[in-house]
Amino acid sequence: MVSVLFVCLGNICRSPMAEAVLRHKIAAKGLQDKVKVDSAGTGDWHVGKIPHEGTRKLLDSWNISYEGMTARQVLSKDLEAFDYVIGMDDSNVANMRKLPGGGDANIMKFMDLLPDEKLREVPDPYFTGNFEEVYRLIDAGCDILLDKIIQEKL
């Protein structure tokens, strides 16, 4: 099983949106037994909570399921356990680097999947309120990511 972990700050807005969107794309290709997806936050304030209303609204509008998803905090052992660990912004990556073993862990930045975009971080909609923009980036980035996974691992 190939594994992907998306990481943001609170694990209620960006990374759960990416988790749901990628899982949806994986199922559309019939790869659900080959690729698994999870998400986590570097912070612990929202542990146990369902995704933010803004994320839920966007996913509902695209008929993408987020059933059963609740927030959790990223752990040092996640960095080794997942094949792809993907931070949504620079501070998420920096905070994972501070975890034990984080210094030399294989961590990507989500926007590295979209080199032609001006934005180099996925903006935090908890503060901007712009969930549509985040969905657009996540949808495009997850297409590229799934192609990359298929090429590299399947």
Query: Residues 4, 5, 9, 58: which binds ligand 4NP (CB under 6 A)?
Result: 9
Interaction of residue 8 with ligand 4NP, rule CB under 6 A: yes
Determine the Cα–Cα distance for residues 30 and 18; give it in Å rounded to an integer.
18
Query: Which one, of 58, 59, 43, lies nearest residue 11 by Cα?
Result: 43
Minimum CB–partner distance for residue 110 and ligand 4NP (Å)? 11
Complex with ligand 4NP: residue 117 or 147, whichever CB lies closer: 117
Minimum CB–partner distance for residue 31 and ligand 4NP (Å)? 26
Where are the extended beta strands (E) located within the chain?
2-8, 35-41, 84-87, 107-109
Q: Are strands 84-87 and 35-41 parallel, antiparallel or unpaired?
A: unpaired
- Using CB under 6 A, which of the segments 11-19, 20-28, 29-37, 141-149 binds ligand 4NP? 11-19
Q: Find the binding residues for ligand 4NP in span 123-152 (CB under 6 A).
A: 124, 126
| Phi, psi for residue 105 in degrees, rounded to 5 | -70, 155
Interaction of residue 10 with ligand 4NP, rule CB under 6 A: yes
Is 14 designated active site?
yes
Report the catalytic residues: 8, 14, 124
